[in-house]
Structure 1
Amino acid sequence: MSPELTGFLMVLGAGLSTGVGSAFVFSPRLIKMASRQFLAGSLGFSAGVMMYVSFVEILVKSKDAFIEDGTSEGNATLYSTLCFFSGILFMGLLDLAVHKLEGHASAGKPEEYTTRGSSYGHEQGHESEADIVSGCVHASNDAVDEWQRKAQNEISESEGKLVRRVGGGGDSKKFEPLSEAREALEIEKGKAQSSTVAVINKALESTMGDKKLIHMGLATALSIAIHNFPEGLATYVGAVLDPAVGATMAIAIAIHNIPEGLCVSIPIYYATGNRTKAFMWGLLSGITEPIGAFAGWAILMSSMSQVAYGVLFGMVAGMMVRISVKELMPTAYRYDPSDSVVTNSFVAGMVIMALSLVLFVVV
């Protein structure tokens, strides 16, 4: 199997791993497993792998590529360094684009919808749009705690802990499950009978919420896709550079793609009640990683010179470092402010990456 095909398959597997995380919505018990420590550890481990391989392997390969093209060692060091910081700058520009998208997505939101203390969605036990479209980097601790609480409610209900006595005559053996949805429906029926105006207002708010969900969901999907694109490119380049590097990077990216898919799908599920829709949103969030791999293939195929490899390797190293420093580590520490798992996970990621590189050379 060619290195190019191997790299593409690795990227495809890493990208589709968002579907593993988004599949958590089909089981409340799996949602309960998505604790702050789980999210923090996953992000810290991935950051360790990406940081180590960027400095120890990819940046060095960038310099070597320039030297093989006939460049002096001093100039090769200069060029690889410039490419490294160009990659960081490139990711900064992508971040600006994402912020623009997020700004446009939230612009024009009706004031009554954003400030109303008890909107239709919240009365139904659902999330607001701001929570719906949050990825792991944007999800708050409160949001994670809320997912845990709702998952526990689902588990309790499925086990028949929420019951009420039915029938009469003191028969204590007749019980039936009492769901939160049924209680909410009965409340809404009572409100509808007492106030026609309230029913109309709720219908209008529901329609408005659906439209905002679609609009903001599309904007968020695009912003996530923008961040996943360079990860696909980096994994592909790493695989072409060295199969061991590509495999370890693919695993690291897959590990942090799992909580990413989870963090996209769970809020959507609790906002819409639709598990399939939530799963598909989470799965699609990783679709641009194979596109990034294709872009890497196109660049390398169009120019097979060592200069092209040197530029691409240097930029990829910079992009990976910025993703780790700007997104993964700050988010990991936000989920784990006491640092019970982040530092250890980060070091573990570096150790695993180092072992894979050493074993590949020794064996």
Structure 2
Amino acid sequence: MTIANEENVGLAFGLVIGAGLATALGASVVFVPSLIHLASRRTLAGALGFSAGVMTYVSFVEIFNKSRISFQDSGLEDEKAYAYATACFFGGVAFMVALNHLVTALLGGHHHHSHDDPISRDTRNESRDSSADGRSAHVEPVVEVPRPCPCCSEDPVADLQTIQHMAAEMEHGEHSDTHSSQNGHSHDEEDHAVENTLQVRKDEDAKHLMLMSVNTAIAIGLHNFPEGLATFVATLNDPGVGLVLAVAIAIHNIPEGLCVAMPIYYATGNRWKAFGWALFSGLAEPVAALLGWLVLANSFSDQLYAVLFGMVAGMMVIISARELLPTAHRYDPEDTVVTYSFMTGMVVIALSLVLFVL
């Protein structure tokens, strides 16, 4: 490893930690739930499109080229260097596809399940049946249990509405509890029995939601692992490229933190537990950087840089194409901001790279 690379180690760790902590920024909404209302569909669509533009451009123009050059520096001819870089690129794509299958298996497919959750549907039916029998005119309706992985399903718009609904409940929870206690004295014994039944069902739903939300945090952490390693390796070789990657990753880590923290808080009522699990999912990135440093510190070479850069380029492109852009278009189905934000991200990173070489 060159002296220049050794001097970049501190910066590399700093950028990776900063990108990972962006999940904590998103998770902090549990302390100020009113902030969730600022997250409009267009804002999220634009942020995801911008991040995808940055990652796509830098992967094809800068990172892939660094892979090819590193193969040339290792002694390969130009044609073979290009072929090897291409192979590594698609190797990175294959790695991310395999990792996504692992994440899906870990979540048990829950992030694709129906909006009409059978647990919450049965609970709502029970509440309606009780009211129809005249047994409980005062029982408050049970709120539908939100899906365990908001923002990573096929319908992120509904996920955003679910999270905003949870935030509204968090804001007004104390007032609702006070109101319920004041009216509770008018319920007869049968009303209390119905309420107890509904409360037991609600507690079971909360435990179910908590378990799946923790699985989501772990799965997102696994997904963040290669992003942390990619940012670290890129910064060691070129701080400019590493900075760009860190910013792009941080942008889409913010909503991930939000999506982990809100359901856990909804299930437990514990702000710090929700914040902690979201922080855990983001810390996978600096952990990946640390492990990469410990394993590769004494073995960095032109060949290794070439392979890593090729794979990083492929991983960033598949993340943009398979996750960021599709989600952005679901938030913005009429494409009022996604394409423009995608191109803006490309322009910003292109100008940044030009300034770095001037």
TM range (shorter): 0.7 to 0.9
Asked if residue 113 in structure 1 is aligned to residue 119 in structure 2, the reply is yes
User: What is residue 164 of structure 1 aligned with on the other side?
Assistant: none
User: What is residue 71 of structure 1 aligned with on the other side?
Assistant: 76
Asked if residue 348 in structure 1 is aligned to residue 353 in structure 2, the reply is no
Counterpart amino acid of residue 143 in structure 1: D
Among 150, 156, 181, the alignment partner of 1:134 is 150
Asked if residue 87 in structure 1 is aligned to residue 92 in structure 2, the reply is yes
Deviations 1:303-361 (A, max 9, x none): 22211111111011111111111100100110111112211111111112111111111
Normalising by the residue count of structure 2, what TM-score does the alignment of the two structures yield? 0.84
Counterpart amino acid of residue 84 in structure 2: Y
Residues 202/49 of structure 1: CA separation in 2 closer, same or farther (3 Å cut) = same
Which deviates the most, 179-188 or 6-15? 179-188
Counterpart amino acid of residue 303 in structure 2: V
SS at match of 2:124: coil
How many equivalent pairs are there?
A: 337
Alpha-carbon shift at residue 225 of structure 1 (Å): 0.7
Kept in 2, the 8 Å contact 1:191–1:199? The answer is no
Which whole-Å CA distance do the structure 1 matches of 2:170 and 2:310 have between them? 48
Alpha-carbon shift at residue 185 of structure 1 (Å): 4.6
Residues 192/64 of structure 1: CA separation in 2 closer, same or farther (3 Å cut) = farther
Counterpart amino acid of residue 61 in structure 1: K
Which whole-Å CA distance do the structure 2 matches of 1:220 and 1:191 have between them? 40
Which whole-Å CA distance do the structure 2 matches of 1:268 and 1:35 have between them? 22
Matches within 5 A, 1:1-363: 2-103=7-108, 113=119, 115-118=121-124, 126=143, 128=145, 131-136=147-152, 140-149=156-165, 151=167, 179-185=175-181, 193-195=189-191, 197-362=193-358
Residues 104/37 of structure 1: CA separation in 2 closer, same or farther (3 Å cut) = closer
Normalising by the residue count of structure 1, what TM-score does the alignment of the two structures yield? 0.83
Which whole-Å CA distance do the structure 2 matches of 1:46 and 1:119 have between them? 43
Deviations 1:119-150 (A, max 9, x none): 8999676552x524334556631231243355
Counterpart amino acid of residue 257 in structure 1: N
Which whole-Å CA distance do the structure 2 matches of 1:10 and 1:251 have between them? 8
Residues 196/154 of structure 1: CA separation in 2 closer, same or farther (3 Å cut) = closer
Give the share of equivalent positions with the same residue, in percent: 46
Residues 143/189 of structure 1: CA separation in 2 closer, same or farther (3 Å cut) = farther
**Which consecutive residues of structure 1, in runs of 5 or more, have no partner in the other structure?**
159-177
Alpha-carbon shift at residue 12 of structure 1 (Å): 0.3
Alpha-carbon shift at residue 232 of structure 1 (Å): 0.6
SS at match of 1:208: helix
Which whole-Å CA distance do the structure 2 matches of 1:104 and 1:190 have between them? 44
Kept in 1, the 8 Å contact 2:216–2:260? The answer is no
Alpha-carbon shift at residue 29 of structure 1 (Å): 3.0
Which whole-Å CA distance do the structure 1 matches of 2:188 and 2:216 have between them? 35
Deviations 1:82-103 (A, max 9, x none): 1100100000110111111111
Deviations 1:146-180 (A, max 9, x none): 4335546777x69xxxxxxxxxxxxxxxxxxx923
**Which consecutive residues of structure 2, in runs of 5 or more, have no partner in the other structure?**
1-5, 112-116, 128-138
Alpha-carbon shift at residue 190 of structure 1 (Å): 5.6
Kept in 1, the 8 Å contact 2:13–2:286? The answer is yes
Deviations 1:188-227 (A, max 9, x none): 6666732454345335324423432342123111110111
Alpha-carbon shift at residue 35 of structure 1 (Å): 1.2
